[in-house]
Amino acid sequence: MLVLALETSCDETAAGIVEDGCRIRANVVASQIELHRSYGGVVPELACRSHLTNLPTVIDAALEEAGVRLAEIDVLAATLGPGLIGALLVGLSMAKAMAFALRKPLVGVNHLAGHIYAAFLTQPPPTFPFVALVVSGGHTDLYLVAEHGCFQTLGRTRDDAAGEAFDKVAKLLALGYPGGPIIDRLATRGRPDAVAFPRAMLAPGNYEFSFSGLKTAVRQHLLRAEEAAGLPVEDIAASFQEAVIDVLVTKTMDAVQHTGVRSLAVVGGVAANSGLRGRLAEVAARQGVQLTIPPPELCTDNAAMCASAAYYCYRAAPERVAAGEGDAWLRLDAKATLPLRSWSTARSGDGAATR
């Protein structure tokens, strides 16, 4: 079964085609980084307009990459949220128009489910039940995933997401946007023990995160360092990154132990971080835990991950989809804030297929 998904929740215009939920046939991402760079962050109105102009080209490129015609696509999908509302609406409206014209089912996908399903496009895929750490620009969430589409929240950030902390600290250091990859590169040349930045809420059994204090600690360090001779920026980057990694790895492995699972998936943009990947690989191997981290291009936003999530979501309720529910699919709505709901237990809802 071929699923074509569109993902436009933030500043990447993406189309992906995935076969049977696990084989990537096409994964096309048009990045808008250059468009937003001079503003130091994503400008929502510019992102929406750019999605609108990029989408047809990106969809054509995906079909060409997969070597399929539009008529051969079995199911269409689009991200419903969370994300920038205008940006989401562009992708969802396009997917609705395509579903209408092709008379094909349409599946609405939660962006966080998309990130988790990037793990099913990776070797080895996770084994149920597993713990998933979703660590991105907007989220730092820990889930227990009992089976396909069954997500139990263990904890999440109380304030900033880890990726947001990377971006804000890069801004404080005047490094540019987006900050994560720049800090990642600099950190490889710095001393991770140069500054003892705080590690928040490390008590065992606490799966909530907080990164805003860490960001403030970096700012205070920079203010103090202006009076004394400052440390090289590589040392600050490495020390900051080390603090983030310590917290993410400690809490995640604590959750793995506490739940008794033997499989762990780490997904989302920050999972592209080389320091985090290295540390997780080391700790998971030592503890005998199977670790799945998608390759970097599947960690950051893409539509192949959404196509995989849509496949499993569709497979869970094909009769509902095939029978159709009048015009219910047309009422699928984009939402800026959208909690990740289980589709294997929910009878209907935001993660569910509806046409």
Residues at the interface with ligand KG4 (CB under 6 A): 10, 136-138, 163, 166-167, 178-181, 184, 268-270, 272-273, 300-301
Q: Which is nearer to ligand KG4, 192 or 268 (CB)?
A: 268
Output 27 or 273, the one with its CB closest to ligand KG4: 273
Q: Which is nearer to Zn ion, 79 or 354 (CB)?
A: 79
Sign of CA dihedral 27, 31, 143, 106: negative
On whether the CB atoms of residues 353 and 149 are closer than 8 A, the answer is no
Are the beta carbons of 94 and 78 closer than 8 angstroms?
yes
CB of 335 to ligand KG4, least distance (A): 15
Does 302 help bind Zn ion (rule: CB under 5 A)? no
Where does 62-197 show beta strands of DSSP type E? Answer: 75-81, 106-110, 130-135, 140-147, 150-156
Q: State in angstroms the smallest separation of the CB of 269 from Zn ion.
A: 6
Euclidean distance between CA atoms 172 and 177, whole angstroms? 11
> Cβ–Cβ contacts within 10 Å for residue 315, how many?
16
Structure tokens at 338: 């959208």
The nearest distance, CB 300 to Zn ion, in angstroms, is 7
Minimum CB separation from ligand KG4 for residue 268, in Å?
4
Q: Choose among ligand KG4, Zn ion, none what residue 180 binds, the Cβ cut-off being 5 to 8 Å by kind.
A: ligand KG4
* Residue with smaller CB distance to ligand KG4, 182 or 328: 182
Q: Which of 355, 335, 351, 273 is nearest to 114 (CA)?
A: 351
Binding residue count for Zn ion, defined by CB under 5 A: 2
Answer left, alpha or beta for residue 268, where phi above 0 means left and psi between -120 and 50 means alpha.
left
Q: Least distance (Å) from ligand KG4 to the CB of residue 299?
A: 7
Phi and psi at 135, nearest 5°, equal -130, 105
The answer to whether residue 164 forms part of the interface with Zn ion (CB under 5 A) is no
Shortest Å, Cβ 79 to Zn ion: 9
Q: How many helices and strands (H and E) does the chain possess?
A: 12, 10
* From 50, 110, 136, 263, residue interacting with Zn ion (rule: CB under 5 A): 136
For the record, the structure tokens of 20 come out as: 């049977």
Does the protein bind Zn ion through residue 110 (CB under 5 A)?
no
The residue (of 242 and 301) whose beta carbon lies closer to ligand KG4 is 301
Question: Candidates 124-132, 153-161, 277-285, 301-309 — which segment interacts with Zn ion by CB under 5 A?
Answer: 301-309
- Looking at the Cβ atoms of 241 and 342, the one nearer to ligand KG4 is 241
Query: At 6, which helix (H) or strand (E)?
Result: strand 2-7
Query: Of 238, 264, 244, whose CA–CA distance to 253 is shortest?
Result: 264
169 versus 321: smaller Cβ distance to ligand KG4: 169
* 301 is a contact residue toward Zn ion (CB under 5 A): yes
Q: Cβ of residue 246: shortest distance to ligand KG4, in angstroms?
A: 15
Gap between the Cα atoms of 83 and 92, Å rounded: 12
- Which range in 21-29, 116-124, 298-306, 334-342 contacts Zn ion by CB under 5 A? 298-306
SS3 (DSSP) at 183: helix
